[in-house]
Amino acid sequence: MRDDADTTVDIDVRRGSPTPEELAALIAVVTEAYAQETAAAAETEPGVDAWHRSARALRTPLRRDVPFGRFAG
Residue-wise pLDDT for 14-44, tens only, equals 999 999 999 999 989 999 999 998 888 877 7
Q: Which long-range contacts (CB under 8 A, 24 or more apart) does 26-33 make?
A: 31/1
Q: What is the predicted pLDDT for the residue at 64?
A: 80
For 1-73, where are the alpha helices, taking DSSP H only?
Answer: 20-42, 50-54
Based on DSSP, count helices (H) and strands (E) in the chain, helices before strands: 2, 0
Q: Answer yes or no: is pLDDT of 4 > 60.
A: no
pLDDT bracket for residue 6 (50, 70, 90) = low
Contact indicator for 73, 36 with CB cutoff of 8 Å: no
Backbone angles phi, psi at 9, to 5 degrees: -125, 130
3-class secondary structure, 6: coil
